[in-house]
Amino acid sequence: MTIQVGDRLPDVPLAIAGAEGPQQTSSSEFFGGKRVALFAVPGAFTPTCSARHLPSYVEKAQDLRDAGIDEIACISVNDPFVMSAWGSRDGSEDITMLADGNGDFAEATGLTMDGAKFGMGQRSQRYSMIVNDGVVEQLNVEAPGEYRASSAEYMLDQLQTA
């Protein structure tokens, strides 16, 4: 079952990718006590993710903070070393790169996709959500092959009209 607005995020292990190496955390620890703009991508370094999705959040980071977001995070079913390398190349210090290495978060939220025909196995769907102290406040899941509803611009519009 897919997570819905108003649901509490499941508590699963995650890793924060950083310059000092992976830092183990959990979803309840990471999302607790703050309002987070989370966006999920099928894979680091993949075409749409690198050319459009991550850059939209890098570009709009300050606008999102001005709209009441405490932290911006990107999550993908990749290991923390890949997420760290991608963040170093295409991200910014404004974006926390979360590694869902085993896909536990994607599976627990019901937001998986089968990328086997691309040699990627089980991955996360492309989506964005606003999480307030561990509770889903907004959820924008993309249709397969789409990129619109999970962009930083779309999220910013939602925050400004709420």
> Could you give the CA distance from residue 94 to residue 73 in angstroms, rounded to a whole number?
9
Residue 91 has pLDDT above 90, yes or no: no
Asked if 34 and 133 count as a contact pair (C-beta separation under 8 A), the reply is: yes
Mean pLDDT to the nearest integer, 112-132: 84
pLDDT at residue 121, as a whole number: 62
pLDDT at residue 50, as a whole number: 76
Mean pLDDT to the nearest integer, 85-90: 88
- Catalytic residue numbers, as ranges: 49
Q: Domains of the chain by range and CATH?
A: 13-161 (3.40.30.10)
| pLDDT single digits (tens) 123-142 | 899 999 999 999 999 999 99
> Could you give the CA distance from residue 41 to residue 55 in angstroms, rounded to a whole number?
12
Retrieve residue 25's tokens. 């955390």
Pairing of strands 71-76, 95-99: parallel
Residue 143 has pLDDT above 80, yes or no: yes
Which letter, b or e, does each residue of 118-128 get, where b requires 16 or more Cβ atoms within 10 Å of its Cβ?
A: eeeeebbbbbb
Retrieve residue 19's tokens. 């310059």
- Please state the pTM of the whole predicted model: 0.93
| pLDDT single digits (tens) 47-75 | 777 777 899 999 999 999 999 999 999 99
